[in-house]
Amino acid sequence: ELFKATVVRARALKPQSITSRIATHTFFVDPAIRGMYSFPVISLATTASNFFDYNRGIYVPGVYFNPGNDRWTGNYFQRGDAWERPVHLEWFETNGAAAFSLDAGARINGALTRNIPAKCLRVFARDTYGTSWIKHPVFPGGGASAFKRLLLRTGGNEYAGSFLSDVIAEEAFNHTSIDFHRYRPAILFVNGEYWGIHNVCEYLNKHYLQTKYGFTDAQIEQFDIIEGVGAGYATSGNMAHYTAMLR
C-alpha cells in the first residue's frame, strides 16, 4: 500500500447566485513527509471521469478501443481540443514549499507510447482556465521561467528501461548553443494517488521561441516548426524550405 495525498476541492453555492470557482488544495499528512521525496512533487486533481470514464476518459482504452488493433486504438489515441481535460496542478519544491498552483488543461501526449500503462501528459496554461502562463523557474540552472506548455513524461520508449536515455541525450547538448528539452524528474500524484516518477520537460513549439528568445507573434509566424522522422510534418508554417533543403 502506497502513501497517498489528500486532495480537498470546494466551491461556494447559493440560490440565485453565481457559483464560485473551485478551490483546490493538496495535503500530505505524515510526520516524515519532509524527507519522503528528494524530487519535487506535483499534484494533479481532476474530476475522475475526465481521465477514467469509458466514453470520455483520456487515460483509458474506453469506447475507442479495438481489440483487433490494440496497439493503436483507445481513448488515449484521440487528439485535439475535444480531448483536453481541465485539471488543477500544484507544484511543491523539494523543501516542501508550495511553488505554484493553477487551473490548466491536460492531454495525452506521444505516439505509440500512449498505450503503455503510465501515459505522458501535456499540460496547457490558457486564459480560459484562468492564467495563460506557468510562471516558475521549473528547471534549475537557467533557461525560461515562464511556460505555456509542460510535458510530464514517463520515459517514452524507455518506460520499462532506464528511464534516462532521452534525458541523457538531451543533456549532452547542454554546453552547446543547440536547443534541447530541459528536464527535471518529479513525483506525480493524480487525485491523491501516487503516480510515479515523471520527467518534467519543456515542450518545443512556437511558445518555446517566445520564452527563450523573446520573439513576437509576428516573428514566430515566419518560422517553420517541423516534427517527425524523415520528411516530417509542419506544426507551424509549412514544409517548403525544408523539402527544398532535403532535395
Q: How confident is the model at residue 203 (pLDDT cuts 50, 70, 90)?
A: confident
Buried-state track 103-130, b at ≥16 Cβ within 10 A, e below 16: bbbbbbbbeebbbbebbbbbbbbeeebe
Q: pTM to 2 decimals?
A: 0.90
| pLDDT score of 188 | 97
> CA-to-CA distance for 161 and 222, rounded, in angstroms?
39
Of the pLDDT bands very low, low, confident and very high (cuts 50, 70, 90), residue 165 is confident
Query: 47-90, pLDDT tens digit by residue?
Result: 999 999 999 999 999 999 999 999 899 999 999 999 999 999 99
Look at residue 6 and give its three-state secondary structure. strand
Cα distances from 102 to residues 24, 36, 109, 183, in angstroms, run: 9, 24, 20, 20
pLDDT greater than 80 at residue 134: yes
Residue corresponding to grid cell 519535487: 40
Largest Cα–Cα distance of the chain, in whole Å?
Answer: 67
The residue among 230 and 15 whose pLDDT is bigger is: 15
Confidence (pLDDT) at 140: 82
